[in-house]
Chains A and B, each alone.
Chain A
Amino acid sequence: MNSLIPLLVAAPLAGAALLLLGGRALDRFGHWIATALAALSCAFGLVLFFDMLGRDTEHRAVTERLFSWIPVGGFRADVSFQLDQLSIVFVLLITGVGTLIHLYSVGYMAHDERRRRFFAYLNLFLAAMLILVLADNYLLLYVGWEGVGLASYLLIGFWQHKPSAATAAKKAFIVNRVGDMGLSIAIMLMFAEFGSFAFRPVFSAAGDASEGKLTAIALMLLLAACGKSAQVPLQSWLGDAMEGPTPVSALIHAATMVTAGVYLITRSASIFNLAPDAQTAVVVVGAVTLLFGAIVGCAKDDIKKALAGSTMSQIGYMIMAAGLGPIGYAFAIMHLVTHGFFKAGLFLGAGSVMHGMNDEVNMRHYGGLRKYMPWTFATFMAGYLAIIGFPFLSGFFSKDKIIEAALAKGGTEGWILGTCALVGAAVTAFYMTRVVLLTFFGEKRWQPDAEGHRPHPHESPRTMVIPMVVLTFGSLFAGGLFSLGDSFLHFLEPVTGHEEGHAPLSAFAVSAIATVCMAAGVGLAWLKYGRKPVPVQAPRGSLLTRAARRDLLQDDFNHAVLVRPGSALAATLVFFDSKGLDGFVNGLAAAIGGLSGRLRRIQTGYVRTYALSMFGGTLVLVASTLLMRSV
């Protein structure tokens, strides 16, 4: 049965290779091959899942070693997969949502002439993401980490004829490099400290290492997580990443890849648990980001960018939960999974709206669409209710648990975190209600597109609707199902560990307060956007609104603090390079050329000169041979 594990990765990888190398012959049906292979991978995942459920708790984690990758002296890296409870959750999420989004893309990308390439990249992403979550050592994880980065880059820039898409792809790639450096440094530190970077030896030896070293490793891992999961201070790329086709935003920049940071921290629990300072850093990053993203989400008129702010904020919840230690890991993953469902559903809904509205993204140009797109409206509403934490839907269960865990941290810290989480919940309700009101309710504010075509909103084709409907089930019921008898918690406990937190408030009180916050957010949004007509042109807005529209000035900050000094440094280096180094190199070249010109004169063309030089050479040779003996 374990031999299925490599096939999980191999199926989409083969699809990517086939589609990229297959050429135009596959243009007509290549996308179905990719979808079938994604579904096959998903089927393997399900088989492995049920096989795992059939075993005792102690025997659920299995390892499948494929081959020795880099055996050099004491350095050893294997291509080896580890399937445990944590990985299988990710496998099912990745392949399940992945398959649905492949199916959705069949409809969404139907008229794109580079469709085959798009599906090849999607398959490549699946393979890389599966390697990331299945690796049993950090080096192989790094391969997957870079692989998803590559796929993300290729897909954000898929419409590279648009300069904005090309720039966004580059931005995502470069910002991610900063995080990737963190991961590679963490791996090097691990190897220096433990002599290995496989999970098992590192985690078992972590107890013997000094706290300082563990904190260093953990902070580097946090840096990596910040890059991939768009957390402050490396968050700036996610909003621009919405330049990619919407299915990409749904799969990579909402449901799966951006949650890799949460996976990394949860997987490295053994290290973080022993480095409390690093955990504090994780919590701070998570709390700051959850508010940051929520505020940005409130101000955006671009539907996808509003959802991107929301993604950032929701991942902030997860990171914060992961930073809380054993009381939070399982809830972080639980929120990750439910978020995967409802956020993917919301993005697919947004894509469906854009599909019907001539690719318009400005919500101020929507309005009253609920009658024209009933399926899209219904599924979007399910996702909306789930994300704001409407009682007894998915988001309600998972978010409440995180708020509880934050309060359970205890002391002032617990109160601060809990308050942040509750404020975040209220703001979430506000901006999501705003999105729904602007899009589906109110007056029609439709505008003709650049070529003067008036939009004719219509429901999307069946290949797009079916995935949205399937995801709706997840948005509605996954949270309840997971919470039923704490089944999800007990399933993950052997990997992540669990401690029951002691919140100063009862679970019921927390739920009640959260629901009140949510209701307040909804009400405020209704007052602002539901009761009175929405202007087509965005009003000037308050200082905070204007800052939030500019992503809270993140790019201005990066430009002033990083780009400008970087350019100055580069200019200085260029100066020294061209004046100093090049001067030396060119001088050397000129000297050799000059010497060559001098030496050439010896080559007179006269035999007598040649004979003389031979004779002289012989004399020197004989003399020096004799001399060698006498010395």
Chain B
Amino acid sequence: MSPIHALAAAGGNSPSIPAPHVEYGQLSPMLVVFGAALVGILAEAFLPRRLRAATQLGISLAGLVGGFVAVVVLAAQGHATTRAGLLAMGSVAIDGPALFLQGVILLTAVLAVLTYAEGRLEPRINGHRIDAFAAQAAAVPGGEQERTATREGLRTTEIYPLTLFAVGGMLLFPASNDLLTMFVALEVLSLPLYLMCALARRRRLLSQEAAVKYFLLGAFASAFFLFGTALLYGYAGTVRLGEIADVVAGTAPVTPALAVTTQNDALLLIGLAMLAVGLLFKVGAVPFHSWTPDVYQGAPTPVSGFMAAATKTAAFGAMLRLFYVAFPGLRWDWRPVMWGVAILTMVVGSILAVTQQDVKRLLAYSSVAHAGFILTGLIATDRRGVAAVLFYLLAYSFVTLGAFAVVTLVRDSKGEATHLSNWAGLGRRSPLLAAVFALFLLAFAGIPLTSGFTGKFAVFQAAAGGGATPLVIVGVLSSAIAAFFYIRVIVLMFFSDPQPAGPAVAVPSALTATTIAFGVLVTLGLGLLPQYFLDLASKASLFIR
């Protein structure tokens, strides 16, 4: 009897599909966000145009803050520690890392949405405030339709529900406990992001090109992930992470139908590598990073900031869960490979950033290098490594968001002035803004008294404790290279003469100001008094199986 027939026979023995048991309470953060997204779509359909922007902002903030409150309540009830558990028939895990990262993602999203709503930066059109997003996304760039839409002061308020869907996917991603749920989460978070990248008001062709690139390469990476899932199912007969671990360890009974493939380690290893490719693409690790600079540069800057912060957090959460829950028994196989990836990512990211002339591309390569630093924490394969990665993601998210928010403010008549030559002498004309950006750059570089130092110290310490000292040495050397291009921008801002017809710094509304202020606060707070958050990350560092 062929395996297929055996499967059919097995299926025939259970005629009824049991109704799944779902713990709505513990899933509430995701449910609230998805619910808000649906409400947003309804608002988009039924509300008159002029009311939409404000309403959408309100809905989004309500959904995201509501979700965050739910996370905090769940954590307070002990769902991060003693009452952590597998939900929805074992497909979702709510435990320390999941709740910690959900909290980070939700806070990041709140601040990102605030920058979406910024209406003070672009000049008004016919008395209408406009934002960073295309007047009408479907209009051909440069066409008559676009001109009409621009003249009427239209705005693409769909960005808000799209963001909420993406956030929903991101919340599920690090919490998914089986490979299929993880894949669904990956797609739910990716598809809206592809669209959002195409929505820039200025330089629309570049924006659309970025979206298409991101979509094509993202689909390519997803295919690898799905293929890997299939191979692993072939090996283990299950897609549950915990059960895969049992099969790897040899403690689970072998499904008779899969007896042949379960013995085949090639399936396991190739599947593992392909899953890793899917996730490494999302975090932007070398050699799967090539989309990052193009997409970060083309996408509307608020979206770049959101992507750089939240997507990375979610993807690293998923990667942690995959490696720590499903493949702890295989760490002698995957650790050396990930060593190579981490080293390549840190070194290539840092070196490529040295010659960048565009501040958004610079931040993109910096995010690549940071992915490498975070990978060193992942490689530690112990609780300290998890805690270090969690803390790093928290620190990095806010710095990134703040830095991209600053980028939106430096403008000339053509929109944002992202070429670095335009930033020369910024410190003389706008000392406060330049000082804030310098603080973020110092945090990126990992200078003490900023969150970046604490985070980097934590991951390097965990890696060294896990026996990866050479990796730490490479990390420190890459940090030295990275410090060069961060400091170069500071030198440019403070010690170069301003250009005569240089860009002006727009005065933002309270919305962007809040985001930047929060970024500064977290950056300094986690640098000066990190202990509470280190403890929090440490408490949240245990995965449920």
What residues make up the interface of A, taking CB atoms closer than 8 Å to B?
Answer: 589, 592-593, 595-597, 599-600, 602-603, 605, 607, 609-611, 613-614, 616-618, 620-622, 624-626, 628-629
**B224 in the interface, Cβ–Cβ < 8 Å?**
yes
Question: Judging by beta carbons under 8 Å apart, are B351 and A614 in contact?
Answer: no
Centre residue among A592, A599, A610, A624 by max chain B CB count within 10 A: A610
Question: Judging by beta carbons under 8 Å apart, are B290 and A613 in contact?
Answer: yes
**B468 in the interface, Cβ–Cβ < 8 Å?**
no
**The 8 nearest A-B residue pairs measured at CB:** A617-B287, A610-B290, A596-B354, A596-B355, A622-B273, A625-B273, A596-B351, A625-B269
**B293 in the interface, Cβ–Cβ < 8 Å?**
yes
Question: Judging by beta carbons under 8 Å apart, are B270 and A622 in contact?
Answer: yes
Contact indicator per residue, chain B 187-219, by CB within 8 Å of chain A (1) or not (0): 000000000000000000000000011001100
Contact of B337 (CB < 8 Å), options: A592, A597, A616, A621: A621
Question: Judging by beta carbons under 8 Å apart, are B290 and A614 in contact?
Answer: yes
Contact of B277 (CB < 8 Å), options: A599, A618, A624: A618
**B340 in the interface, Cβ–Cβ < 8 Å?**
yes
What is the CA–CA distance of A596 and B353 in the complex, to the nearest angstrom? Answer: 8
What's the minimum C-beta distance from A590 to chain B, rounded to whole angstroms?
A: 11
Contact A605 B336, CB 8 Å, known A611-B216, A621-B277: no
**B266 in the interface, Cβ–Cβ < 8 Å?**
yes
23 CB contacts below 8 A, A to B, read A592-B351, A592-B484, A593-B354, A593-B355, A596-B354, A596-B355, A599-B351, A603-B293, A605-B294, A609-B290, A610-B213, A610-B291, A611-B217, A616-B287, A617-B286, A621-B276, A622-B274, A624-B337, A625-B272, A625-B334, A626-B266, A628-B337, A629-B333
Contact A600 B287, CB 8 Å, known A610-B213, A618-B277: no
What is the CA–CA distance of A597 and B213 in the complex, to the nearest angstrom? Answer: 23
What is the CA–CA distance of A593 and B356 in the complex, to the nearest angstrom? Answer: 10
Contact indicator per residue, chain B 241-278, by CB within 8 Å of chain A (1) or not (0): 00000000000000000000000011001101110110
Residues on B with C-beta less than 8 A from A605 are: 294
B361 nearest in chain A by CB position: A603
Residues on B with C-beta less than 8 A from A622 are: 269-270, 273-274
**B24 in the interface, Cβ–Cβ < 8 Å?**
no
What is the CA–CA distance of A602 and B291 in the complex, to the nearest angstrom? Answer: 12
What's the minimum C-beta distance from B348 to chain A, rounded to whole angstroms?
A: 7
What's the minimum C-beta distance from B208 to chain A, rounded to whole angstroms?
A: 13
Contact A595 B351, CB 8 Å, known A611-B216, A621-B337: yes
Centre residue among B212, B286, B341, B355 by max chain A CB count within 10 A: B355
Question: Judging by beta carbons under 8 Å apart, are B266 and A600 in contact?
Answer: no
Total number of B residues with any Cβ neighbor in A under 8 Å? 39
Contact A592 B481, CB 8 Å, known A610-B290, A614-B287: yes
Contact A628 B336, CB 8 Å, known A614-B220, A614-B287, A618-B224: yes
Question: Judging by beta carbons under 8 Å apart, are B291 and A629 in contact?
Answer: no
B332 nearest in chain A by CB position: A628
**B436 in the interface, Cβ–Cβ < 8 Å?**
no
Contact A603 B352, CB 8 Å, known A592-B481, A628-B332: yes
What is the CA–CA distance of A603 and B291 in the complex, to the nearest angstrom? Answer: 9
What's the minimum C-beta distance from A628 to chain B, rounded to whole angstroms?
A: 5
A612 nearest in chain B by CB position: B290
What's the minimum C-beta distance from A625 to chain B, rounded to whole angstroms?
A: 4
Residues on B with C-beta less than 8 A from A617 are: 277, 286-288
Residues on B with C-beta less than 8 A from A624 are: 336-337, 340
**B281 in the interface, Cβ–Cβ < 8 Å?**
yes
What's the minimum C-beta distance from A12 to chain B, rounded to whole angstroms?
A: 32
Centre residue among B217, B291, B351, B484 by max chain A CB count within 10 A: B351
Question: Judging by beta carbons under 8 Å apart, are A596 and B352 in contact?
Answer: yes
Residues on A with C-beta less than 8 A from B265 are: 629
**B232 in the interface, Cβ–Cβ < 8 Å?**
no
**B490 in the interface, Cβ–Cβ < 8 Å?**
no
B281 nearest in chain A by CB position: A614
What is the CA–CA distance of A156 and B293 in the complex, to the nearest angstrom? Answer: 59
Contact of A600 (CB < 8 Å), options: B220, B221, B272, B352: B352
What is the CA–CA distance of A589 and B484 in the complex, to the nearest angstrom? Answer: 9
Residues on A with C-beta less than 8 A from B213 are: 607, 610
What is the CA–CA distance of A597 and B224 in the complex, to the nearest angstrom? Answer: 31
Residues on B with C-beta less than 8 A from A616 are: 287
What is the CA–CA distance of A595 and B347 in the complex, to the nearest angstrom? Answer: 11
Centre residue among A605, A611, A614 by max chain B CB count within 10 A: A614
Centre residue among B276, B287, B290, B334 by max chain A CB count within 10 A: B290
Residues on A with C-beta less than 8 A from B281 are: 614
Question: Judging by beta carbons under 8 Å apart, are A599 and B348 in contact?
Answer: yes
What's the minimum C-beta distance from B179 to chain A, rounded to whole angstroms?
A: 17
Residues on A with C-beta less than 8 A from B216 are: 607, 611
A609 nearest in chain B by CB position: B290
What's the minimum C-beta distance from A393 to chain B, rounded to whole angstroms?
A: 60
B:337-365 near A, CB below 8 Å: 337, 340-341, 348, 351-355
What is the CA–CA distance of A414 and B337 in the complex, to the nearest angstrom? Answer: 82
Residues on B with C-beta less than 8 A from A628 are: 332-333, 336-337
Residues on A with C-beta less than 8 A from B288 are: 614, 617
What is the CA–CA distance of A602 and B355 in the complex, to the nearest angstrom? Answer: 13
Contact of B269 (CB < 8 Å), options: A597, A610, A614, A629: A629
What's the minimum C-beta distance from A532 to chain B, rounded to whole angstroms?
A: 67
Given contact pairs A592-B481, A621-B276, enumerate 16 new A-B contacts (beta carbons under 8 Å): A589-B484, A593-B355, A596-B353, A603-B352, A610-B291, A611-B216, A614-B217, A614-B277, A618-B274, A622-B270, A622-B274, A625-B333, A626-B266, A626-B270, A629-B269, A629-B333
What's the minimum C-beta distance from B96 to chain A, rounded to whole angstroms?
A: 29
What is the CA–CA distance of A240 and B370 in the complex, to the nearest angstrom? Answer: 56
Question: Judging by beta carbons under 8 Å apart, are A603 and B290 in contact?
Answer: yes
Question: Judging by beta carbons under 8 Å apart, are A621 and B333 in contact?
Answer: no
What's the minimum C-beta distance from A434 to chain B, rounded to whole angstroms?
A: 58
B224 nearest in chain A by CB position: A618
B344 nearest in chain A by CB position: A617
B481 nearest in chain A by CB position: A592
What is the CA–CA distance of A593 and B352 in the complex, to the nearest angstrom? Answer: 9
What's the minimum C-beta distance from A617 to chain B, rounded to whole angstroms?
A: 4
Residues on A with C-beta less than 8 A from B224 are: 618
B484 nearest in chain A by CB position: A589
What is the CA–CA distance of A624 and B290 in the complex, to the nearest angstrom? Answer: 21
B335 nearest in chain A by CB position: A628
Question: Judging by beta carbons under 8 Å apart, are B221 and A614 in contact?
Answer: yes
Residues on B with C-beta less than 8 A from A602 are: 290
What's the minimum C-beta distance from A605 to chain B, rounded to whole angstroms?
A: 7
What is the CA–CA distance of A628 and B272 in the complex, to the nearest angstrom? Answer: 13
Residues on B with C-beta less than 8 A from A603 are: 290, 293-294, 352
B209 nearest in chain A by CB position: A605
Contact A626 B269, CB 8 Å, known A603-B293, A613-B290: yes
Residues on A with C-beta less than 8 A from B276 are: 621
Contact of B354 (CB < 8 Å), options: A592, A609, A618, A621: A592
Question: Judging by beta carbons under 8 Å apart, are A600 and B290 in contact?
Answer: no
What is the CA–CA distance of A42 and B353 in the complex, to the nearest angstrom? Answer: 64
What is the CA–CA distance of A33 and B354 in the complex, to the nearest angstrom? Answer: 58
Residues on A with C-beta less than 8 A from B484 are: 589, 592
B:295-335 near A, CB below 8 Å: 332-334
Centre residue among A593, A625, A629 by max chain B CB count within 10 A: A625
Residues on B with C-beta less than 8 A from A595 are: 351
A620 nearest in chain B by CB position: B287
What is the CA–CA distance of A597 and B351 in the complex, to the nearest angstrom? Answer: 9
What's the minimum C-beta distance from B365 to chain A, rounded to whole angstroms?
A: 10
B217 nearest in chain A by CB position: A610
What is the CA–CA distance of A116 and B352 in the complex, to the nearest angstrom? Answer: 56
Residues on B with C-beta less than 8 A from A593 are: 354-355
Residues on B with C-beta less than 8 A from A589 are: 484
B353 nearest in chain A by CB position: A596
Residues on B with C-beta less than 8 A from A611 are: 216-217, 220
Question: Judging by beta carbons under 8 Å apart, are B217 and A625 in contact?
Answer: no
What is the CA–CA distance of A599 and B217 in the complex, to the nearest angstrom? Answer: 20
What is the CA–CA distance of A629 and B327 in the complex, to the nearest angstrom? Answer: 14
What's the minimum C-beta distance from B258 to chain A, rounded to whole angstroms?
A: 20
Question: Judging by beta carbons under 8 Å apart, are B355 and A600 in contact?
Answer: yes
